[in-house]
Amino acid sequence: MADEARFVPLETETPSDEEILRRAREFREAMASRRTVRDFDDRPVSREVVEELLRTAGSAPSGANIQPWTFVPVSDPSVKRMIRGAAEDEEREFYESRAPEQWLEALRPLGTDWRKPFLETAPWLVAVFVQKYGLDEKGERIPHYYATESVGLATGLLIAAVHRAGLVALTHTPSPMGFLNEILDRPDNERPFLLLVVGHPAEGVEVPDIERKPLDEIAVFVPPREE
Ligand code: IYR
């Protein structure tokens, strides 16, 4: 029966405890140098590279394995120009009137403003959409479970893949992002999740002097309990 659970052996390996610790450290160190960058070089990145990055993103776990994501990579200059225009319209509104003072205060250390030239400079904009529900052949809605969480996981893997490849990314969230459906011709069941700007950093780029929280501020280990 097609919809019964079927299992295949897990492709696995059994590294030693030392090897596991070594790899955990190595990956932690590799990821520690990842930074969000807002100044991009116009050096191209091949479509083949982007395809590999997206395959990694598509390997994320998802609710009921529905894989409720659509990635829309854009490199065409005229489409990038349209996206920049629409994003800057929203961002100008945001910075000049919509954003509460407290929000602007929180953003100050990042040095951002409404101008988004990177939306044209960077070689790729990957619009990430959440499929809120699916559609069967008859156009009936198919429920999706934990769709937003799943797309968040896939995007995290995508960001890690970008870094691992030696590229940089910016998670850009113009708000509202509905213009992405129009410009990129996506259907109503897809909601924009974010726009990932991908490419090479501009020469001599600087990033905000901000810190990551130490482990003891992000993790609370439960002590072993006495019986
Ligand atoms: N979307 C705006 C504002 C912004 C909001 C957050 I939360 C950030 O972490 C960074 C920026 C912009 O892209 O400038």
DSSP secondary structure, 124-170, as one string: EEEEEEEESEEE-TTS-EEE-SSHHHHHHHHHHHHHHHHHHTT-EEE
Name all residues whose Cβ lies below 6 A of ligand 1.
Answer: 91, 94, 107, 110, 112, 172-175
Nearest-CA residue for ligand 1 atom 2 is 174
Considering the chain, what is the average pLDDT of its residues?
A: 96
Whether pLDDT at 2 is above 70: no
pLDDT band at residue 175 using 50, 70 and 90 as cut-offs: confident
pLDDT above 90 as % of the chain: 96
Mean pLDDT of 198-224: 97
Residue among 37, 103, 107 to mutate when testing ligand 1 (max atoms within 8 A of CB): 107
Nearest-CA residue for ligand 1 atom 7 is 107
Whether pLDDT at 124 is above 60: yes
Main-chain phi, psi angles of 74, to 5 degrees: -120, 125
| Ligand 1 atom showing the smallest separation from residue 172 Cα | 13
Predicted pLDDT at 227: 76
CA of 173 to the centre of ligand 1 (A): 6
CA of 17 to the centre of ligand 1 (A): 41
Whether pLDDT at 130 is above 60: yes
Predicted pLDDT at 226: 86
Instruction: Identify the H or E element spanning 104.
Output: helix 101-107
Q: Report how far residue 67's alpha carbon sits from residue 150's, in angstroms, rounded to the nearest whole number.
A: 7
pLDDT band at residue 24 using 50, 70 and 90 as cut-offs: very high
Mean pLDDT of 22-36: 98
Nearest-CA residue for ligand 1 atom 12 is 174
Whether pLDDT at 1 is above 60: no
**pLDDT, tens digit, 9 for 90 and up, residues 88-121:** 999 999 999 999 999 999 999 999 999 999 999 9
Mean pLDDT of 33-52: 98
* Closest by Cα among 189, 171, 170, 169 to 181: 189
Asked, as a colleague might, if the bond just before 109 is cis with ω within 30 of 0, I would say: no
Predicted pLDDT at 129: 98
**Beta bridge pairs of residue 70:** 129
Predicted pLDDT at 133: 98
pLDDT above 70 as % of the chain: 99
Global pTM reads 0.95
Predicted pLDDT at 121: 98
Whether pLDDT at 171 is above 80: yes
**Beta bridge pairs of residue 128:** 71, 194
Whether pLDDT at 125 is above 60: yes
Mean pLDDT of 124-146: 97
Query: Which residue is associated with the tokens 């993790």?
Result: 219
